[in-house]
Structure 1
Amino acid sequence: MQGSGGIAGDAGVWVLGTFTLYLVVLLGIGLYSSRFMDSVGDYVIGGRQIGPVVTGFSERASEMSGWLTLGVPANAYNAGIIAFLNGLGMVPADLFAWAAIAKRLRKYTELVRSVTLPTFFETRLGDDTGRVKAVSAVILMLFEGGYVGAQIVAAGTLLQVLTGIEPWVGIVVGGVIVIGYTFLGGYFAVAWSDYFQGAIILAAFIALPVIAFTNMGLPFDEVAATAGGSLTSITGGATGWAAVFAVLGYAAIGLGVPGNPHVMVRFMGIDRVENVRLAALVAQLFMFVAYIGAALVGLYAIAMFGEASIANADNAMPRLTLELLPGAVAGIVLAAALAAMMSSADSQLLVATSAVVEDVYHGFLDRDASEAELVRYSRYVTFGLGAASVAFAYLAKNTPIYTLVLDYAWGGLGAAIGPTVIATLWWKRVTAEGSIASMIVGASTMILWTQLPTVLGAVGLMPPESAEFWYGLVTVYGLFPAFVLSVVTLVVVSLLTEPPSDVDDHFDVFDKPFSAVVAGDGDGAPDYATDGGLDGDTDPKVVTEADNIRAHVAASGYWDDDER
């Protein structure tokens, strides 16, 4: 069905027609959502008015990305059933995040009117120097920008398969789509498009393996016969220390969950704290089905096309889809692949935008900027960062998507930001100095570890594969050593420095219902918190989940009284 020039005949018409309709729907979501952009809080976290089902879908869709839809099938195509271990660390890590992070982060960030992680860190750690906010904002801009670029590379790869266009054209088209509806609608557009896209992804990774199964049964015997027994080994044929480090590397992927702000912002944007449990259930079911389905797609591609018959393994999923399905259905399924890329790219672009506008511009350059100005600047920055990500995508277009995401985006954020997120919510002794040191060590280690085999090989110091332990350690996924060193640095430096003096008051927020904190036993909200009502009234009867954002807008004078 597919030649070097893309899809031909009726299948091509159906697929491209489905894509066109899909893109029109996305742009429509962005245009509709632009009506709700009254404040930077609305733009960045949707005014905390997004329900649990939409939040659960959005949390998963924003993380899974082209890494899941193209990268994991490619990993299974190259490595076999060991690709199922991509969920080994991710499933428990995501469950931990919903159970141990979501409610605490949601309550505290609303109370202090924080719509970004750097602002949350600054308030929780009592840092009046701006260093925590500045360092974390720079890290977010660096790695989230790279993340957006990785998704645009994935989009370009898929569009090349569909149309035969040059990769750079697909990269530009994908970038325009993402920038367009994020520019227009902010978080509302991102969350609702993620819901729409997440439903397609879930359906695709249920339907495609089921259809393949009806044609050829389970693929494992065929994979073993076609590609050898190593691809049907859960350790990829490795033994001893090599097997240990192989499994450890897959498990370490989960360490990135707490540090990736496009996941954490879902917790901050849910409408009510009590809805976290339902959102978590939706996200976990989504994850379980999607990871199994994605790995099966890669295995079925081996069974159908043979080992190494697909030059670019990232094409395994679209090739299988086009082979098994009629044109109209293939268009829907391949729209799901594009959906995952777009839903991650828009979320990551929005986080990077918030780091520039809310944390740098509003935090350092113009603290008195109105909400209308901040929303306008957010759109400008979205456009600028999006253009820079397109340029990065062009430079990295030949790097495998699986590697591009894990090494240059997910891992850097997880190692640099994750330990501070957990510590600020659960450890009273953490300090601003410890957080800053941890972020620098985590980010630096991740970057250097990624290049370590190349550097050691260039100077003749790379251990041979026969030295199983040392070779495995050097080649293990860099997030594992980077996260460990980041945690050690955080603990050691924090113990050597002074924590905030009012840390017990901050922890009261984590342990009480939101209304009880605002009521303050008759004394009002805590000193470091904002007023609960539109008019400064702290009576819990007038406190809603979005009152603090609305109060900020009202204080700016952007709304007149009769418009509230």
Structure 2
Amino acid sequence: MASEAIAGGASNWVLGTFAIYLLVLIGIGVWSSRFMDTVGDYVIGGRRVGPVVTGFSERASEMSGWLTLGVPADAYGGGIMAFLNGLGMIPADLFAWSAIAKRLRKYSEIVKAVTLPTFFETRLQDDTGLVKGVSAAVLIVFEGGYVGAQIVAAGTLLRVLTGMEMWLGVVIGGVIVVGYTFLGGYFAVAWSDYFQGAIILIAFIILPIIAFTTYGSPFEMLAQMEGGASLTSITGGMSGWAALFGIISYAAIGLGVPGNPHIMVRFMGIDRVKNVRKAALVAQLFMFVAYIGAALVGIYALIQLGAGLENPDNAMPLLTLELLPGVVAGVVLAAALAAMMSSGDSQLLVATSAVVEDVYHGYVNPDASQEKLVLYSRIVTLIIGGASIAFAMLAKDTPIYTLVLDYAWGGLGASLGPLLIATLWWKGLTKWGAVASMLSGGITMIVWPQWPAIIGQGTIDAMGPFMNGLFTVYGLAPAFVISAVALIVVSLLTTPPDQGDVEEHFDVMHKPLSAVIDEEGRGKAGTPDFITDGGMPEPKAVTEMDNVRGHVAASDYWNEE
């Protein structure tokens, strides 16, 4: 069996490729820094990012170390059941592009919202700051944890390549992610995601093909291995309630899509609403190929390396070093690092915007200049990045697959997913329903994995097969349901925003932008008051609290559909 920390000739080639790759990324960051005149440029790229870049960026920002190391590790340990990782993700992402993207893109621009907390506050006409404050806190906590997970993944990869201690790999990986986001903001993130996304896609096409030419079809070989019956079973050898809840767990992963802001800001940042369809096609093709490729990589790693890796997260890089010559292996493993950077910088940027735009600009200094906001965004990036590195040090021994799903993806999905959908589709939503949804979803996601420790595994076993299986289900499934129920019940029991204003908002949401605002960003005649203040160059804020936000400068790309 291959060593789990490889140094020597192959590693030198890999590190050489890695160094060249970093230089390219630094060049992108330096180039991107020219476009950051406002906090809107830093946070969503001034809505100037095209459909192909957006599509690649949307997928690369989510797939992360979870896809490149975590999914292969899942396949290495469980066999073909890992193909179910796409069971919920593919339809959920399709729903997000088809049902959410256009509405969120148009509405967020019309009301000049560059972050989700500001969007929530504006949509719910909340002048107390409660919705913005709670949603910003959710973003800071869970996105910070997400960044930490990517840093752990980067540290894992660097340890395999060089044999360095895990703590050192975590520090170096953290410096790369934080420094890059600090330098370039959203433009650097989006364009590097495009570049990195292309590498990821190629890597997960090439590696399984090479493995296939070496070993042939993996399924017969899996069947001959110890535990082959479960490795070749789509339910992992489980039956009854355990099999059902296992499938539900994989499907529930997709529930996190609408609640993860680093995906949603891709919809807010695309240049034209009409380009959403093209970006969606790019993202869906990317996802389909990448999920299949990642699972095949894990299965072939099990065949090549045998069972018993101390850390299954090492399966993908070890298989790459086994099958490919040094230079090619360097490119493929650079793709793995690219995925971690893609997610880490995206998530760090979202957490930064929650502090600077939603907290500082919203509460502390409403009159702050755009130059000061961009400066503070960079400072906060360093602070949150440092905290994420500290979290990564504490969590460095946790499997990446679990670290992402339980401590980041699930928390965001349960806290913000039902809320985002409701803001775009339900006129009866209230601010209290929004707060109840965020708190109940986040708390449930945190508590659910702890139930065996809280009430004892023996007690759960005594409850029978159904309850035993239920408590093993991925926590996002119950957390999302509880969050949605809390949102509906509390909203029905509390007073919604003025329905006349809500009707105007929804009416505008269904119109093309060209029917609402002109090329100068001014509201056209007959549009509601929240869009125009009588023809003045600056759009009027939706509520008094909106006046504390930095408005994104009008773009020349507002003539849509």
Structure 2: distance between partners of 1:61 and 1:180: 19
Aligned to 1:293: 293
Specify the code of the residue in structure 2 equivalent to 1:463. Answer: D
Residue 443 of structure 1 is matched in structure 2 by 442
TM-score by length of 1: 0.93
Aligned partners of 1:51 and 1:271 also within 8 Å? yes
| Residues 1:537 and 1:434: Cα distance change in structure 2 (over 3 Å) | closer
Query: What are the superposed Cα offsets for residues 269-308 of structure 1, whole Å, 9 maximum, x if unpaired?
Result: 0000000000000000000000000000011011112222
Contact 2:143 2:347 in 1 (8 A): yes
Q: Identify if the C-alpha distance between structure 1 residues 38 and 522 changes in structure 2 by more than 3 Å, giving closer, same or farther.
A: closer
Contact between 1:441 and 1:485, CA under 8 Å: does it hold in 2?
A: yes
Contact between 2:4 and 2:318, CA under 8 Å: does it hold in 1? no
Contact 1:260-1:417 within 8 A present in 2 as well: yes
Q: Deviations over 1:295-332 (max 9, x none)?
A: 00011011112222x11100000011000000000000
For 1:557, the equivalent position in structure 2 comes to none
1-structure distance, mates of 2:445, 2:128: 27
The TM-score with structure 2 as length reference comes to: 0.94
Give the equivalent residue in structure 2 for 1:434: 433
Match in the other structure for 1:492? 489
CA contact (8 A) 2:83 2:291 kept: yes
Aligned match of 2:245: 245
Q: Distance in 1 between matches of 2:322 and 2:412?
A: 37
Shift of 1:522: 5.2
Partner AA of 1:527 in structure 2: D
Matches within 5 A, 1:224-373: 224-227=223-226, 228-308=228-308, 310-373=309-372
Matched residue, 1:142: 141
| Closer/same/farther in 2, CA of residues 2 and 299 from structure 1, 3 Å limit | closer
- The verdict on how the C-alpha distance between 1:125 and 1:154 changes in structure 2, with shifts beyond 3 A counting, is same
1:430, distance to aligned residue in structure 2 (A): 0.8
CA–CA separation in structure 2 for the residues paired with 1:414 and 1:236: 26
Is 2:530 the partner of 1:528? yes
Q: What corresponds to 1:86 in structure 2?
A: 85
Structure 1 residue 526 displacement after superposition: 2.6
Which of these residues, 543, 548, 552, is aligned with residue 549 of structure 1?
552
CA change 1:533–1:405 in 2 (3 A) is farther
Is contact 2:153–2:400 with CA below 8 Å preserved after alignment?
A: yes
| Partner deviation per Cα, 1:506-544 (whole Å, 9 max, x = no partner) | 101221111112269953543223679993499xxxxxx
Whether contact under 8 Å (2:321, 2:329) holds in the other structure is: yes
Q: Which residue of 2 aligns with 1:120?
A: 119
Deviation at residue 31 of structure 1 after TM alignment: 1.3
SS in structure 2 at match of 1:238? coil
Q: CA deviation at 1:246?
A: 0.2
Q: Displacement, 1:548?
A: 6.2
Alignment of 1:201-216 (within 5 A): 201-216=200-215
The alignment status of 1:463 with 2:455, answered yes or no, reads: no
1:482 correspondence with 2:479: yes
Letter in 2 for 1:172: V
Distance 1:342 1:533 in 2: 44
How many angstroms apart in 2 are the aligned matches of 1:4 and 1:302? 14
Q: 1:384 and 1:521, CA in 2 relative to 1: closer, same or farther beyond 3 A? A: closer
Q: Which amino acid aligns with 2:35?
A: F
Distance 2:537 2:271 in 1: 21
Alignment deviations for residues 53-101 of structure 1 (CA, whole Å, 9 cap, x no partner) = 0000000000000000000000000111110000000000000000010
1:403-438 deviation digits (Å, cap 9, x = unpaired)? 000000000000000001000001111111100000
Identity of aligned residues (%): 71
Query: Runs in 1 of length 4+ with deviation above 6 angstroms?
Result: 531-534
Residue 475 of structure 1 and its aligned partner are, at CA, apart by: 1.2
The CA deviation at 1:207 is 0.3
* CA RMSD, Structure 1 to Structure 2 (Å): 1.9
Aligned partner of 2:559 in structure 1 is none
Q: Does residue 1:105 correspond to 2:107, yes or no?
A: no
Whole-angstrom distance in 2 between the partners of 1:193 and 1:104: 26
Q: Deviation at 1:498?
A: 1.5
Structure 2 vs 1, CA of residues 530 and 115 (structure 1 numbering), >3 Å: closer, same or farther?
Answer: farther
Residues 83, 170 of structure 1: CA spacing in aligned structure 2 closer, same or farther, 3 A cutoff? same
Residue in 2 aligned with 1:133? 132
How far apart are 1:4 and its partner, in Å? Answer: 5.6
Cα distance change of structure 1 residues 52 and 551 upon mapping to structure 2, 3 Å threshold: closer
> Is structure 2 residue 384 aligned with structure 1 residue 385?
yes
What does 1:504-519 correspond to in 2, within 5 Å?
Answer: 504-518=503-517
The answer on whether the counterparts of 1:226 and 1:307 sit within 8 Å (CA) in structure 2 is no
Q: Is the 8 A contact 1:256 1:413 kept in 2?
A: yes
Aligned to 2:469: 472
Give CA-to-partner distance per residue, 1:21-44, whole Å, 9 cap, x none.
011111111111111110000000
The farther-off stretch of 523-532 and 196-205 is 523-532
Tell me which residue corresponds to 2:545.
none
Distance 1:3 1:531 in 2: 68
Instruction: State the one-letter code of the partner of 2:553.
Output: R
Q: Which amino acid aligns with 2:459?
A: L
Residue 40 of structure 1 pairs with residue 42 of structure 2: no
Equivalent AA in structure 2 for residue 108 of structure 1: Y
Distance (Å, rounded) in 2 between the aligned partners of 1:130 and 1:530: 23
Aligned residue identity for 1:199: A
SS in 2 for 1:6: coil
**Paired letter, 1:255:** L
Output the CA distance in 2 between the equivalents of 1:495 and 1:45.
Answer: 34
| Alignment-mate amino acid for residue 7 of structure 1 | A
Q: Which amino acid aligns with 1:469?
A: F
User: Structure 1 172/534 Cα, relative in aligned 2: closer, same or farther at 3 Å?
Assistant: farther
2:2 touches 2:305 (CA, 8 Å); kept in 1? no
Deviation for aligned residue 1:457: 2.0
CA contact (8 A) 1:70 1:337 kept: yes
Deviations 1:2-29 (A, max 9, x none): 64652222x1221110000011111111
Equivalent pairs counted in the alignment come to: 540
**Equivalent-residue separation in structure 1 for 2:535 and 2:397 (angstroms):** 53
Please say if residues 31 and 181 of structure 1, whose CA atoms lie closer than 8 Å, have aligned partners that are also in contact. Answer: no
Q: Secondary structure at the match of 2:125?
A: coil
1:152 partner amino acid: I
Partner Cα distance (2:532, 2:264) in 1 = 22
- The alpha-carbon distance between structure 1 residues 106 and 198, as it changes in their structure 2 partners (threshold 3 A), is same
Q: Compared with structure 1, are the counterparts of its residues 463 and 24 closer, same or farther at alpha carbon in structure 2 (3 Å cutoff)?
A: same
